[in-house]
Amino acid sequence: MKRMRRSAVGLVVLGALLSGCAASAADIQPMAADALSAARSADLGIDLHEAGRTFPTTADVVLEDMAGQLGDVIAQLEETQTADDAAERDRTRTLSAARDAIDAIHTALRGDDAAAQRALTPAIEVLQDVAGER
């Protein structure tokens, strides 16, 4: 009986390892959407700051928060194993775009809003593509 239990447990563990442990492209999409949301919010914060419609400290808080959210997505993606080449391509593209968005946010925090938006635009376009919004 004990031997049969071990075999059953082994089969359950093996089944779990073989199924569902790796992310598909569809599993990457929500993470890309989260990154896209943060990047768009940062873009809006930069727009408002440039237009003088918000206090600089408020804009900075928004940008820092969005950089933190992008960092969370990056951490999640770095721990994600992919199931196939398409999922790996989407994971890699999302990681790169999220990192570019963080760099753009840091550029804005240093006071160069125009350069930040130039850098943020292509990152947003990639995230839109991966998130299925294009």
User: What pLDDT, in 10s, does the model give residues 13-48?
Assistant: 344 444 457 899 899 999 999 999 999 999 999 999
pTM: 0.83
Domain membership of residue 64 (yes or no) is yes
Domain membership of residue 7 (yes or no) is no
Residue 1 banded pLDDT, cuts 50, 70, 90: low
Amino acid at 55: F
Domain membership of residue 30 (yes or no) is yes
pLDDT tens digit sequence for 84-116: 999 999 999 999 999 999 999 999 999 999 999
Q: How many domains does the chain have?
A: 1
Domain membership of residue 17 (yes or no) is no
Domain membership of residue 2 (yes or no) is no
Domain membership of residue 83 (yes or no) is yes
Measured between alpha carbons, how far is residue 72 from residues 5, 16, 64, 69, 100 in Å? 40, 26, 12, 5, 14
Residue 5 banded pLDDT, cuts 50, 70, 90: very low
